[in-house]
């Protein structure tokens, strides 16, 4: 099975985490943490900065590795490195996603998370408490 290596941003501000809703592709309408594929020659941190700029027109400061998710979708295996990030410059403007929300601990399950992303919600609940 093919493995996709991706990176995701866990952006937390004032006790809330930023979640985005996919606007395209096989997983359209599912909720996720923003990010994307790690290209050849990129570190996960470099990929994350590039992806957030491309998707949200925002510069982020990539912090510590929060969690790594390994998940088997029917057609591929996903290896997702999730980093704590802070907005450095920009307004998190949606360029590819159809919606976004800031979710506090009590509302983390108010959206329909993609299967791989839901894997870190319990870890995130502890971080937000």
Whether pLDDT at 117 is above 80: yes
Q: Is 22 annotated as a binding residue?
A: yes
* 115 is known to lie in a ligand binding site: no
To the question of whether residue 125 is assigned a binding role by annotation, the answer is no
Q: Which long-range contacts (CB under 8 A, 24 or more apart) does 61-66 make?
A: 61/85, 61/86, 61/87, 61/88, 62/9, 66/10, 66/120, 66/123, 66/124, 66/127
The pairing of strands 35-37 and 31-32 is unpaired
Instruction: Say whether pLDDT at 129 is over 80.
Output: no
33 is in an annotated binding site: yes
User: What are the pLDDT digits (tens) for 65-75?
Assistant: 999 999 999 99
Q: Are 90 and 59 in contact (CB under 8 A)?
A: yes
pTM of the model: 0.94
Return the CATH superfamily for domain 3-127.
Answer: Nucleoside Triphosphate Pyrophosphohydrolase (3.90.79.10)
- Tell whether 55 is in a known binding site: yes
Q: How many CA atoms lie within 13 A of 87 on its CB side?
A: 15
14 a known binding residue?
Answer: no
Q: What is the mean pLDDT of residues 20-46?
A: 94
Q: What is the mean pLDDT of the chain?
A: 95
């Amino acid at each position: 099975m093919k493995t996709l290596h991706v990176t995701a941003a866990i952006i937390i501000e004032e006790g809330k985490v930023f979640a985005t809703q996919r606007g395209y592709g096989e997983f359209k309408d599912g909720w996720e943490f923003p990010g994307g594929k790690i290209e050849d020659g990129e570190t996960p941190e470099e990929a994350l900065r590039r992806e957030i700029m491309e998707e949200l027109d925002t510069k982020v400061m990539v912090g510590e590795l929060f969690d790594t998710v390994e998940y088997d979708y029917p057609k591929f295996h996903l290896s997702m490195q999730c980093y704590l990030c802070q907005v450095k410059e920009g307004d998190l403007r949606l360029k590819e996603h159809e919606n976004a929300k800031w979710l506090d601990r009590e509302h983390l399950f108010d959206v329909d998370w993609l299967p791989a992303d839901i894997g870190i919600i319990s870890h995130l609940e502890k971080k937000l408490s």
